[in-house]
Amino acid sequence: FPCYPHVPVIFSSRRYVAGGQCKSTAKLDGKVVIITGANTGIGKETARDLARRGKVILACRDIAKGEAAANEIRAETGNQQVIVKKIDLADTKSIREFAENVLAEEKELHILINNAGVMLCPYSKTADGFEMHLGVNHLGHFLLTFLLLERLKQSAPARIVNVSSLAHHGGRIRFHDLHGEKSYNRGLAYCHSKLANVLFTRELARRLQGNLMPADLSRNAFSAGTKVTANSLHPGSVRSELVRHSFVMTWLWRVFSFFLKTPCEGAQTSVYCAVAEELDSVSGQYFSDCQPAYISPRGRDDETAKQLWSVSCELLGIQWD
């Protein structure tokens, strides 16, 4: 059991909570991975796993915490190609600076894992005036992907992995009030942003595969596109710092910790989407516990996905055709 190499799993209920495991032993020799929010939680555990396979860039807002995580991972894996770079997904200037730095230093990029996120924030806005959940969880990663996409295409086959959530089932894209200025509920704001992750992944996959219809996003369609795939996932309910903005959720997480995944367990589906050989040509899908999972009807609304894409480009001041 990869998360507990020296401790046998005694309780079958705990094994059930742990969920699916990535069993792939694929190496990433000569390949480069970027993981946002990689200094803590599932991002850190994803980095720890992938550092055993290849070069990993930890994209972090807090450089000190990022270096601490990188030092720990280097010592454990023996891989000195674990690098920390600063990015603040709540500031488009920082995102652009990060991308410029990566493009200047890395001639190839093979895997982008958009993992970082915020949850249950009191109402606030990013440096660019976006509601915080939408700005960080969706728009920040939307811009980062846009800025790095050509390098991913040049390095293909390549993968984009977007960490969403089961919470997308409770979300909707409120185009009339995207930034929550008319009404705001921090729980729903998180759900809305996670739905945006699913819709972004769906539309991105369609565009990467030659503008094929979503129903055609399959192994057979891969050869028609860019050989860059995009998939989203639900990591599970994980014991992490993500609930730090809510006293109630923090308390509940502690009380029911036995029934929550560890960060290592929560990272399994991210790792699976990044390296599993059977996903080489799978795109536009949504996974949970290392297997395909059900997407909500709103998450399968292609017209909403297209509109969200257009509005996102407008908000960010970019042209992405």
Residues in the chain: 321
Closest CA to 179 of 138, 130, 121, 142: 130
The pLDDT value given to residue 40 = 94
**Residue 91 DSSP SS3:** coil
Q: Which residues contact 187 (CB under 8 A, 6 or more apart)?
A: 120
Q: What is the pLDDT of residue 241?
A: 55
CA distance 79 to 75: 8
Question: Residues 4, 184, 190, 294: which is the catalytic one?
Answer: 190
Active site residue 184: no
* Mean pLDDT of the chain, nearest integer: 89
pLDDT at 214 over 70: no
pLDDT, position 249? 46
pLDDT digits (tens, 9 = 90+) for 89-130: 999 999 999 999 999 999 999 999 999 999 999 999 999 999
Cβ–Cβ < 8 Å for 168, 199: no
Domains delineated in the chain: 29-209+223-316 (3.40.50.720)
Going by C-alpha positions, the residue among 95, 80, 102 that lies closest to residue 127 is 95
> What are the pLDDT digits (tens) for 218-271?
454 454 578 999 999 999 876 555 545 444 545 444 544 545 778 999 999 999
Task: State residue 215's pLDDT score.
Answer: 53
Consecutive H or E run containing 288: strand 286-288
Q: Of 138, 199, 197, 193, whose CA–CA distance to 171 is shortest?
A: 193
Least confident of 4-8, 53-57, 74-78, 138-142: 4-8
If one compares 293 and 252, the residue with the highest pLDDT of the two is 293
pTM of the model: 0.88
Residue 254 is predicted with a pLDDT of 54
